[in-house]
Amino acid sequence: MLDTPADAQPDLRPGLMLCAYEPELDWDVEGPEASRDWMPPGARLIPVEAEAPESLARTLVERLRDPACRAALLVGRATGAGDFLIQTRAENRALNGKARLVPTGPGVARATAPALEMAQTLSEAGLTARLSSETVTDPGNYLLYRLLCSLPDGPEAPLVGLLRVPEGDGSMIRRAVRLAAEAMARHLSPLPRPRAA
């Protein structure tokens, strides 16, 4: 019996989008070559570059509609905080903060990522991290709400989370982002095998 070539096997790893939505926030301080060598165990990394919030939201929502994409981790700055913050919810606010983003949408949408486990994973690695239910009118809240409101109902909905990082050592930020992504990946199941034609 002939062995099937490895490259002919379908990649059943669930996709995990990772987006640092602020252009100046470079979570991958070792450069693109290093990021290609790292993947969250059991998942396939889908990096998404920063752009204007409205167009970035459309890009992220569209990619999350792909059944092979099972999670999204947003990364932004924790303004005025010295800790890593795992955002647990997003408020229905327009970017200017003067109106509701979705007139008929819920006032608050809760993140579907395993926030407590993400914070514990960072803390166990020696990083100061905590959960935060406080929201601010910024692109992070806007993007998180847009993504959460796009999810289908039910237990199989993709995981969506927001990690806010403090000012500081770039290597520490890179480490925190990877740990948070790995904590999310532990909750993802392999994709179903395609049916034979």
In tens, the pLDDT along 80-125 reads: 778 999 999 999 999 888 889 988 889 999 999 999 999 999 999 9
Domain boundaries, the chain: 13-185
Ramachandran region, residue 80 (left: φ > 0; alpha: ψ -120 to 50; beta: rest): left
Instruction: Note whether 138 and 127 are within 8 A (CB).
Output: no
Q: How many H helices and E strands in the chain?
A: 5, 8
In tens, the pLDDT along 118-177 reads: 999 999 999 999 999 998 889 999 999 999 999 988 778 999 999 999 988 788 999 999
Q: Which two tokens stand for residue 105?
A: 């949408």
Cα–Cα distances in Å, from 12 out to 43, 61, 95, 98, 191? 9, 21, 37, 44, 5
In tens, the pLDDT along 53-74 reads: 999 999 999 999 999 999 999 9
HSE at residue 76, side-chain half, CA atoms within 13 A, is 23
pLDDT, position 107: 93
Amino acid at 106: P
Report which secondary-structure segment, H or E, holds 19. strand 15-20
Classify 13-185 by CATH class: alpha beta
Distance of CA 148 to the CA centre of its chain: 11
Considering the entire predicted model, what is its pTM? 0.89
